[in-house]
Amino acid sequence: MAGYFIDFAIASALIVVLTALMGNISNTIGERLFGRNKSGKHVEASRRIQQGWKVVGGKNNAPKQAHR
Protein backbone atom coordinates (compact mmCIF):
# COMPACT_ATOMS: atom_id res chain seq x y z
CA MET A 1 0.00 0.00 0.00
CA ALA A 2 2.89 2.36 0.74
CA GLY A 3 4.22 1.74 -2.76
CA TYR A 4 0.92 2.94 -4.19
CA PHE A 5 1.15 6.24 -2.32
CA ILE A 6 4.77 6.74 -3.34
CA ASP A 7 3.88 6.12 -6.99
CA PHE A 8 0.89 8.45 -6.66
CA ALA A 9 3.05 11.21 -5.15
CA ILE A 10 5.70 10.87 -7.86
CA ALA A 11 3.12 10.91 -10.65
CA SER A 12 1.34 13.90 -9.10
CA ALA A 13 4.59 15.84 -8.76
CA LEU A 14 5.54 15.11 -12.37
CA ILE A 15 2.14 16.24 -13.62
CA VAL A 16 2.32 19.49 -11.65
CA VAL A 17 5.89 20.24 -12.76
CA LEU A 18 5.24 19.45 -16.42
CA THR A 19 2.07 21.53 -16.41
CA ALA A 20 3.92 24.47 -14.87
CA LEU A 21 6.78 24.24 -17.37
CA MET A 22 4.63 23.81 -20.51
CA GLY A 23 3.63 27.48 -20.50
CA ASN A 24 7.21 28.68 -20.20
CA ILE A 25 8.45 26.29 -22.87
CA SER A 26 5.73 27.20 -25.36
CA ASN A 27 6.24 30.94 -24.68
CA THR A 28 9.98 30.62 -25.32
CA ILE A 29 9.42 28.68 -28.54
CA GLY A 30 6.87 31.27 -29.70
CA GLU A 31 9.20 34.17 -28.97
CA ARG A 32 12.08 32.49 -30.81
CA LEU A 33 10.02 31.58 -33.88
CA PHE A 34 7.71 34.57 -34.21
CA GLY A 35 9.49 37.31 -32.22
CA ARG A 36 12.65 37.54 -34.31
CA ASN A 37 13.70 41.21 -34.43
CA LYS A 38 10.85 42.58 -32.28
CA SER A 39 12.46 41.67 -28.93
CA GLY A 40 13.49 45.22 -27.97
CA LYS A 41 10.54 47.03 -29.54
CA HIS A 42 8.58 47.62 -26.33
CA VAL A 43 11.66 48.40 -24.26
CA GLU A 44 12.77 51.07 -26.70
CA ALA A 45 9.25 52.55 -26.91
CA SER A 46 9.06 52.76 -23.11
CA ARG A 47 12.52 54.32 -22.92
CA ARG A 48 11.55 56.91 -25.56
CA ILE A 49 8.34 57.82 -23.72
CA GLN A 50 10.08 58.19 -20.34
CA GLN A 51 12.93 60.28 -21.70
CA GLY A 52 13.07 63.62 -19.89
CA TRP A 53 10.90 62.56 -16.95
CA LYS A 54 11.87 63.77 -13.50
CA VAL A 55 13.21 61.14 -11.11
CA VAL A 56 11.17 61.11 -7.90
CA GLY A 57 11.46 59.46 -4.51
CA GLY A 58 14.35 58.33 -2.34
CA LYS A 59 17.73 59.83 -1.60
CA ASN A 60 19.61 58.02 -4.35
CA ASN A 61 17.86 59.36 -7.42
CA ALA A 62 20.79 58.99 -9.78
CA PRO A 63 20.22 56.39 -12.51
CA LYS A 64 22.17 53.22 -11.94
CA GLN A 65 25.15 52.60 -14.18
CA ALA A 66 25.34 49.28 -15.99
CA HIS A 67 28.19 47.07 -14.82
CA ARG A 68 30.79 46.56 -17.50
| pLDDT score of 6 | 96
What pLDDT is attached to residue 43?
83
Confidence (pLDDT) at 7: 97
pTM of the model: 0.45
- pLDDT under 70 in the chain at which residues? 39, 58-68
Q: What's the rounded Cα separation, in Å, for the pair 68 and 61?
A: 21
| Burial letters 30-61, b for 16+ CB under 10 A, else e | eeeeeeeeeeeeeeeeeeeeeeeeeeeeeeee
Q: What is the pLDDT of residue 23?
A: 92
